[in-house]
Chains A and B, each alone.
Chain A
Amino acid sequence: MSKELIRLKDVSMTFDGDTVLDNMNIYFNDKEFLTLLGPSGCGKTTTLRIIGGFLVPTSGDVFFDGVRINDVPPYLRQVNTVFQKYALFPHLNVYDNVAFGLRIPKSVDEGGTDINSESSGRGKRKKSKKVKLSKDEIDQRVQEMLEVVSLKGFEKRTVSSLSGGQQQRVAIARALVNRPKVLLLDEPLGALDMRLRKDMQQELKRIQQQMGITFIYVTHDQEEALAMSDTVVVMNNGKIQQIGTPEDIYNEPKNAFVADFIGESNIVDGIMRADRLVEIFGRQFQCVDSGFEKDEPVDVVIRPEDVDIVDVTQGALTGLVTSVTFKGMHYDIIVDFKGFKWLIETTDFCPVGSHIGIKLDPDSFHVMKKSEYSGMYGDYSSYSAEYDEISDAEYQEEESVDEEEYYES
């Protein structure tokens, strides 16, 4: 395991009495691609801004390489940020934007590393040498970085003449050219269209591996998080819900919130009758989970793709198809089981109004302990095809609202 680089210890953040982060404890490893994932207002951007130095936590400590950096201002930290709407300098061309950070003389202490400790923060900073890079070195590094983000030949272009994806690359180059130990990315692909987004995901992953540094990535898009990350941190209401690899998070969600937020999930009430034996809808099924008390009430997750549709006579459960949506690769069908609506992904066409049976393998069940989120998610009664897009749009709106709050406070 690689070494720990950043640690947040008991970090809380309150704006005007609103708790945005609630006693957060987390560490970030060197050279890791970590994603903070959650709905808007969950505190993920706040976490990023605390690491960047733009916000000072109300309580708790931030450590960088073992040194407390709560009061170190952003311009003395060894992290760089790619901002949500790029925040490129409109009065500078591509080259000057990328060279911006390199042209600022940096303080260097005896050991030759950038100033980073508490004692050398604001105010009582020691008289340290300011080192200015030579023109040739700046040029070499800028060119190198433009190469990395595939923007060679764009040096003299104005920022406003670039497309969204190109602007995004400039923003990444501008941050990376300073050779930070950590790159913070705040929803960097939020403004791009679907195709470009997919390309940039690959690109970002490639750049991260090529540079060999830590990426801390903030997004509300779970697909993006699963596709790119080494580690995913799912957040809600200022609390960490689960930390794990993308596979862990998807296959073994800790509670109903995570199960619902990552992918599609049918979440039903169940009772653990014994190890590897779960009861739902009054029927007992073999499963692979154990370690629960006998007769403990639990939440059971069944992913829509794990359900096999069989003839109504052979089904362990039978239900009525109430809606069918064609999704290209498969159909999304909504099936009513005794008043609880399930989402099932299937390649077989089942017309609305038909009765079907379903079969469930033992490994299609995932059993979770009851939590504060039990009963809030996983029922598809209000499902419609546009639902996802609508909720996406809401995220965007709210995100910009709480951004305003940061500045006002």
Chain B
Amino acid sequence: MKERPSVGGRVLTILTFVFLYAPIIVLIVFSFNSSNSRTVWSGFTLDWYGELFEDSLIMSSLSTTFSVSIISALVATVAGTAAAIGFFNMKKRTRAPLLAINNIPMINADIITGVSMCLLFVAAFGFLGNFTGWLNRVFGFNLPTRFTQGFGTLLIAHITFNIPYVILSVMPKLQQMDRNLVDAAMDLGCSPLSAIWKVVIPDIMPGIINGAIIAFTMSIDDFVISFFTAGSNSQTLAMAIYTMTKKRVTPKINAISTLLFLTVLILLIVVNIRSSRQEKKLQESMKIKKSFVR
């Protein structure tokens, strides 16, 4: 028997959702407001969305965001999958601490990750500058001696913070895999490497794809780490929005934020649906097996 929630309980639930979603709903509603005001509704319009595409700052930051997200998601997916397979083949004694270390960047405050990366890049550029300076002096090369943060550092930072998410989504798939599959592939003539290609990767593919989508999502909505590592020449969408709030605020911000929110929301829904479908499939195949096994 389901117990009906009390009136108080229901009110509390509703209030919770209002607090959670009211800001976003207001944001979305006022992205369609025909006047500049953010408090008075004066009619429906799509002008602000149209203006977005004429704003060169937004369009360039949008392309930066997409290129950084796509490239970093791809690289992190490859690296993370390889790392997960490596972890999986380790002894438990080595694997457990490594997985724990893998989790730290995810729970670490973004600002710490951002600042520390920024400092690392500055230090590394310092060393690199000294080294090229020395090369120039000794060999007469004409290499640059000053390096600044930009798209490259932004990309490295994104790849770095994406890898743990990929590992986290691939690992359970590996653990569900029948260990004998690799043995069976080798038994049939595969070298260990081709066994991974032909058997392991296809088997854990759903996990890899989920990992890639999550990594992409994380990249797209990251602000703090990008802020510290993008330098002054490149700007992601999140950074562009932040900069816009410092100037005169127009509903353009609402419009671009709405689009960003919807993109991330759709990606997360896709991941969730995929996961629950796989769960269902797994349970069904277990059920089939059980009915045959005594």
Contact = CB atoms under 8 A, between A and B. Distances in A.
Residue of B92, B179, B202 most packed against chain A (CB within 10 A):
B179
A369 B190 CA distance: 49
Contact of A104 (B183, B184, B188, B292): B188
Contacts, number: 81
A161 B179 CA distance: 21
A85 B191 CA distance: 22
B221 interface: no
Contacts of B191: 73, 75
B184 A87 contact: yes
19 contacts: A80-B188, A84-B180, A87-B180, A89-B199, A89-B203, A100-B188, A101-B188, A104-B188, A104-B194, A106-B189, A160-B285, A164-B293, A165-B292, A174-B184, A178-B189, A191-B293, A193-B292, A193-B293, A408-B91
Interface residues of A, number: 35
B289 interface: yes
B56 to A, nearest CB: 47
Contacts of A100: 185, 188, 198
B183 A74 contact: yes
Contacts of B91: 408
Contacts of B187: 52, 74-75, 79-81, 175
A163 interface: yes
A54 B181 CA distance: 13
B288 interface: yes
Residue of B186, B188, B202, B293 most packed against chain A (CB within 10 A):
B188
Contacts of A54: 183, 186
Interface string A67-104: 00000011100011101110111110000000011001
Given A75-B191, A178-B189, A164 B180 contact: no
Contact of A89 (B184, B186, B205, B293): B184
Interface residues of B, number: 27
Given A54-B183, A160-B288, A164-B293, 10 more contacts: A87-B183, A90-B203, A100-B185, A160-B285, A174-B184, A175-B188, A191-B293, A193-B292, A193-B294, A194-B294
A407 interface: yes
Nearest to B289: A164
A187 to B, nearest CB: 12
A101 B199 CA distance: 12
B292 A164 contact: yes
Contact of A83 (B180, B205, B293, B294): B180
A157 to B, nearest CB: 13
Interface string A142-177: 000000000000000000110111000000001100
B92 A408 contact: yes
A357 to B, nearest CB: 41
